[in-house]
Structure 1
Amino acid sequence: MKKCILTAALFAAAVCLCQAQSDKDEQTVTLTEDSAVAYALENSLSIKSSAIDLEIKKRAGDNAWNVLLPTVQASGTLSRSGTSSYSSMEAAAQSALLSARVGALENALEKEGSRPLSVGDQAALYNQILGGMGYEDTESGHWTTVGNLGVSWNLSLAYIGQIKAAKADYEGGKITYEKSVRETEVNVRKLFYGLLLQQENIRIQKASLENARLRAVQTETNFKNGLVPELSMLQAQVSYENKRPEVEQADRLLRQQLDTFAFIIGLPVGTNIVLDGSIEPEYVDVDVDTLIQKYSASSLDIKNLDATISSLKDNLSAINLSSYTPALALNYSLQPALIYGLDFDRYTDADNWNDSNSFSITLAWNLTNLLPWSSNRQNAKNIESNIKKLELSREMAVENQKVEVRKAVDTLTQARQQIDAMGRNIKLAQRSYEMTMRSYRNGTTELLDVRDAESQLDQAKLGLANQKFNYISALLDLEKTLNINLTSAKNEGGNK
């Protein structure tokens, strides 16, 4: 029985271990440069926010014509008056219709030789006639139902400018969204290569730590064999122990940076990220004048300024048209009324309703807007000033673009030269380190010389990685500045 229980417990533990390992594997994500960009573009909160802004502007641009729609308003009112409508009906009984009916009855009575009707008899007869028509002196006589239907249609040439401004604003929104996507892509690519650089730095430090450990082991062996003094053994051990915290700290820093990277691109924080890539730039031959001549107009910053200027000009046109041209207004109103509003059976009979309607055409021109100091003209002047400011900003952006392009090209040239030089320097440093190690093993060189030779080799390797990163970063900046792709990998679909 105990064996069965033990077997079951071991089986359950094995299942849990497998499940834990499976969960751990599920949290491991291998990222290439392009897949990291794809994650970011899909999950970036800033891009999602920009997409919402773009959707709002698209909706406004697509429906800008709605300023031409007429305004239709319908209302209904049920009101109570202190005076009953029945009293008004008695007065109305003196009208031609009721008078004709009473007169006919009087004539009939006179023909029969009867006396004329008195005032009281006439009043009783009016009440009898009104009662026959369905009107009684009740609470419902105090209530009246009034409906109202109003249609107004305003037309102005200023609407043309407003529609154009809304569409221009949408075009500017598309450029802003594209700019947000481009910036996110460049930032993610830079972070990706920055993490690769950090990994390379840690790899070099770990290799140096392993070399220090091997030297400490070898020195301890030599000390036991009487080949080196105790001081040499202690120096080697201290050198090894001093390097361990530096490597551990670098590892912790890299894990924190990977968590930050996961958050930026939209992965759960704590995801085990494995970077699939290397810091190997794709070199391009570029010329400052050629780049500026061919691609200066492709800059998203300049396009964004152009779109904003275009939108402001359309708004200025709308204000000017509203100032210098009249507006046409068409209005129609229909007002049906029903007395005895609480007698709901009367609502279905059209004869119980009294309708009144009106139609008007108005040509209105706000002459105050023509005054130079009016609010309308002041708004126009403010827009003109903003347009001038944006035009100056555009000129500055064009000049700044030239500076940025020249700076990026200079960085590319310098980085490439440094990469070639450091490649040769690594070979020399590697040879120097190997020769120093042989001398150290033979006892003809001090440990300090070995550490110096190793430090020079590590600096050369890290310097080469740094220059490669600088080249890649400068190339990304150049592509972002001109909104172009210069490398074949991205032209084939890497930049999406």
Structure 2
Amino acid sequence: MSKKLLIRATLLLLLLFPLSALSAITLEEAMQMGRANNLSLASTSIDVNAAKRDVDTSWNLFIPSLSLSLSNAGTTPVFKASPGSSAINTGLGFSLSATLTLNPAVKSQMDSYQIGYQIQQVSYEQAKAEVERTITKLFYYLVMEEQNIAVQQANLELAQKQYEEVTLKYEQGFASELEVLTSQLASERLKPSLQQATNQYASNLLSLKAMLGMELDEELSVEGEIPALIKELEVQDLKEYLQKSYSIALLDLNMAQLRTTIDLNSQQALLPTIMIKGTYEMSLWNEMNPVSDFSDSSMYTIALSIPLDGFIPNSRTKVGLAKLDDSLQKLALQRQQAVKQLEVSVVGKVQNLNMLSSQAQLAQQSLELTEKVYIMNHIQYESGYIGSVALEEAQNNLLGARQQVLSLQFQYVSSLIDLIYDLNIQHEYRTKELI
């Protein structure tokens, strides 16, 4: 009985074996660092600020265009001067003009700024969600890989211990040289996969550091658990979230932007435009009129311009507006196709998740049986009923069963992360502690 307890305690080390003693970060801490320090996200925020500036300063559409000019003119004979003619400076002139152009399209232009700002906001949220998705998948991969490395490390230590025991028995004459070589070979075969897992862990850890905006030589480790599997997901429960997808929201906003562009172009091409212009001119001196060296004047113009080419059938204006209508229809069809493709993707991912959940349950049951078989083989080995080869086979089966459970768990979590981020329901799932 004591041997069974000892073996079970050894098996527990396969999950509790620490990979490192570094201070670890949780998933939420990693999310906060990613949102604050990710460079691509910072770049996207610049576009958001620029679009917001367009909205905040849209009032400048009503500012008249101003121009200021300063001139000096004169005449002088060149080849042959007329009698009494001489070089004359006609004076220094100063002119200030203001022009304001008003068209009903100005409202559409302001609406365009507002929609453009919304597009940039959604694009930023989409970029942030992609950063969070990548961080979450990397985080859980590292959590899984830590456990995998711990399992392989503990398995290697057991194999090395068995090799030492077989070597001792060989020296005492209770084991053959073949058993020693077989035990040594079994131990050496475990090292490449352990090294590969360690390298993959280090590579993905570097990727996580880059996503978090950390220096690559900074120390980092993760702390967390792989979420529990959901027994059964229903497609109907998720279809209502299709419209929440960022990709669909962006298509809707792009359609709204295109409608605004059509209105803008139509109003500019078909509706009248009012131009109000005022000019003030001043002359400081004039040699042709030395009695008065200062004069000024003002002038204003109010003009109404009505474009007519937009009313001519098949004119360039009409054709241009028709092309914009065609683009809007194509975008509407593209949205329908995107919704259908997303629905198909959701159905496929839900089916895959349910399959992985079922496989993970079977793998867990298989692991429990494999643990019992290993314990029984270990007891028989200690009692001398079986050789080291049979024990090593049972040990390898246990390693494979445990790795299969970890692999299915990560596949499930990775697919679940993709699904909820595709539907933009990650916040609801976080509140349920599924992620």
What TM-score does the superposition give when structure 2 sets the normalisation length? Answer: 0.86
Report the count of equivalent residues. 409
Give 2:250's aligned residue.
304
Change (3 A) 1:178 1:464: same
User: How far does the alpha carbon of each residue in 1:426-457 deviate from its partner, in whole angstroms, 9 at most, with x for none?
Assistant: 11001111222233334433433223222221
How far does residue 487 in structure 1 lie from its aligned partner after superposition? 5.7
Q: Tell me what 1:175 maps to.
A: 122
SS for the counterpart of 1:173 is helix
Distance in 1, matches of 2:337 and 2:349, equals 18
- SS of the aligned residue for 2:224 comes to coil
Q: Which residue of 2 aligns with 1:271?
A: 218
Output the CA distance in 2 between the equivalents of 1:216 and 1:306. 66
Letter in 1 for 2:167: E
In structure 2, give the amino acid aligned to 1:491: T
The answer to whether the 8 Å contact 1:72/1:152 transfers is yes
Among 53, 58, 63, the alignment partner of 1:64 is 58
Aligned to 1:162: 109
Q: Distance in 2 between matches of 1:46 and 1:485?
A: 21
Return 195-204 or 147-156, whichever deviates more: 195-204
Distance in 2 (CA, whole Å) between partners of 1:245 and 1:290 is 45
After TM superposition, list the pairs within 5 Å mapping 1:85-100 onto structure 2: none
Structure 1 pair 390/255, CA: closer, same or farther in 2 (3 Å)?
same
Once the two structures are TM-superposed, the CA of residue 282 in structure 1 deviates from its matched residue by 6.0
- Local SS of the residue matching 2:284: strand
Structure 1's 280 and 484: CA in aligned 2 closer, same or farther, altered over 3 A? closer
Other-structure match for 2:76: 82
Tell me what 1:416 maps to: 357
Distance 2:172 2:273 in 1: 108
Task: Tell me which structure has the larger Cα radius of gyration.
Answer: 1
- How many angstroms apart in 1 are the aligned matches of 2:411 and 2:196? 24
Aligned match for 1:144, one of 91, 97, 104: 91
Question: Contact 1:153–1:331 (CA<8 Å) still a contact in 2?
Answer: yes
Note if 1:474 corresponds to 2:415. yes
**Equivalent residues of 1:479, 1:486 under 8 A apart:** no
Residue 295 of structure 2, aligned match among 354, 357, 361: 354
Paired letter, 2:247? D
Q: Using the alignment, how far apart are the partners of 1:409 and 1:381 within structure 2?
A: 42
- 1:35 paired residue among 24, 29, 38: 29
CA displacement 1:42-98 (0-9 Å, x = unmatched): 111211111111111111222233222211111212344327xxxxxx99xxxxxxx
Quick one: structure 1 residues 442 and 494, their matched pair in 2 at CA, closer, same or farther if it must change by over 3 Å? closer
Q: What residue is the counterpart of 2:390 in the other structure? A: 449
**Aligned residues of 2:71 and 2:92 also touching (Cα < 8 A):** yes
Relative distance call for 1:70 and 1:372 in structure 2 (3 A) is same
Offset of 1:370 from its aligned partner?
3.2
Aligned to 2:261: 315
Which stretch has the larger CA shift, 29-38 or 238-247? 238-247
> What percentage of residue pairs aligned between the two structures are identical?
23
The alignment partner of 2:220 has SS state of strand
Question: Does structure 1 retain, via aligned residues, the 8 Å contact 2:183–2:389?
Answer: no
Q: Which segments of structure 1 move beyond 4 Å, counting only runs of 4 or more? A: 492-495
1 or 2, which has the higher helix percentage? 1
Structure 1: unaligned runs, 5 residues or longer:
1-26, 84-89, 92-136
State the Cα deviation string for residues 268-291 of structure 1 (Å, max 9, x = none): 002221111122336476421132
Q: Secondary structure at the match of 1:339?
A: coil
Which of 330, 335, 342 is residue 389 of structure 1 equivalent to?
A: 330
In the TM superposition, residue 492 of structure 1 has moved relative to its aligned partner by: 7.8
Q: Whole-Å Cα distance in 2 between the matches of residues 152 and 194 of structure 1?
A: 63
Q: 1:240 aligns with which of 180, 187, 192?
A: 187
TM-score w.r.t. the length of structure 1 is: 0.76
Evaluate the alpha carbon distance shift between residue 474 and residue 184 of structure 1 in structure 2; reply closer, same or farther with a 3 A threshold.
same
Letter paired with 1:42: A
> In the aligned structure 2, how far is the partner of 1:46 from the partner of 1:200?
31
Task: Check the 8 A contact 1:259/1:271 in 2, yes or no.
Answer: no
**1:158-180 deviation digits (Å, cap 9, x = unpaired):** 22222212211111111111111
Counterpart of 1:330, as a letter, is: I
What residue is the counterpart of 2:10 in the other structure? none
Q: CA deviation at 1:260?
A: 2.1
